[in-house]
Amino acid sequence: MAWLVLVVSGCFEAVWAVALGRSEGFTRLVPSLVFAVAAAVSMVGLAFAMRTLPTGTAYAVWVSIGAALTVAYGMATGTEPTSVLRLLLLVGLVGCVVGLKLTH
């Protein structure tokens, strides 16, 4: 259960990161509200997962999922450059996260 909550929390990390960028320094209401809600959900989920998972592993997985999804979203929407090397690096990042899960 902790792993599932951690993965969902990592997804919410990507949501709050994108919303933070779109909030334009918290001057836009809707993205600012999305940021606040997603950040709270993400942190609560991370805290829940850390009750049973090692802190370092949980944090690394949470950050990696959020970072990978944020970059992938940016590449899909055209706000981030896309290249074969960037895609390979994202695959490597995801592979490292899977490795942390498998070695737990």
For 17-59, what is each residue's pLDDT tens digit? 999 999 999 999 999 999 999 999 999 999 999 999 999 999 9
Q: Nearest to residue 94, comparing CAs of 75, 68, 76, 74?
A: 68
CA distance 31 to 18: 9
Our CA dihedral for 17, 18, 22, 28, rounded to 10 degrees, sits at -60
Each domain of the chain, given as residue ranges in start order, spans 2-102
pTM of the model: 0.89
For 58-87, what is each residue's pLDDT tens digit? 999 999 999 999 999 999 999 999 999 999
CA-based angle 55:1:73, to the nearest 5?
Answer: 75
Helix 55-77 and helix 84-102, axial crossing angle in degrees, nearest 10: 150
Under a CB-based contact definition with an 8 Å cutoff, are residues 93 and 67 in contact? yes
